[in-house]
Amino acid sequence: MSLSHSCPCSEYCFLQKAMNTIGGKWKLPILCSLTANGTTRYNDLLRNIKGISNTMLSKSLRELENAGLVKRFEYLEIPVRVEYVLTEKAVRLQPILLELIQWEIERETGGRGK
């Protein structure tokens, strides 16, 4: 892929669009929680992600669902059970996020993180 077509300086920047999709305070913690725990109920996500409000969890999950990164399952039981799971798109994102983690470790440790 040529960077000239996706340069951050261009009018339509694919990198900026990707960062907007997963950016914000809560989307990465949600993705990390779902990666670590698999299919997770809404209230378990609320408990697992320290400091997130009900409103922000709901909003962030909706945005991740609209981006095709999270799938929502609603079971019409009493009480209603709602679960979330990563989609294949989100699973394909995991190696990229792991590379970012490794990059930050190396940056902080001056390359001694391996």
Mean pLDDT value across residues 22-33: 94
Instruction: Please say if the pLDDT value at position 105 is more than 90.
Output: yes
Pick from 35, 108, 94, 26: nearest CA to 64: 26
pLDDT of residue 35: 94
Contacts for 54-63: CB closer than 8 Å, 24+ residues apart: 56/25, 56/26, 57/26, 57/30, 60/24, 60/26, 60/27, 60/30, 61/30, 63/27
Note the pLDDT tens digit of each residue in 49-82.
Answer: 999 999 999 999 999 999 999 999 999 999 999 9
Mean pLDDT value across residues 5-22: 75
Pick from 113, 61, 70: nearest CA to 91: 70
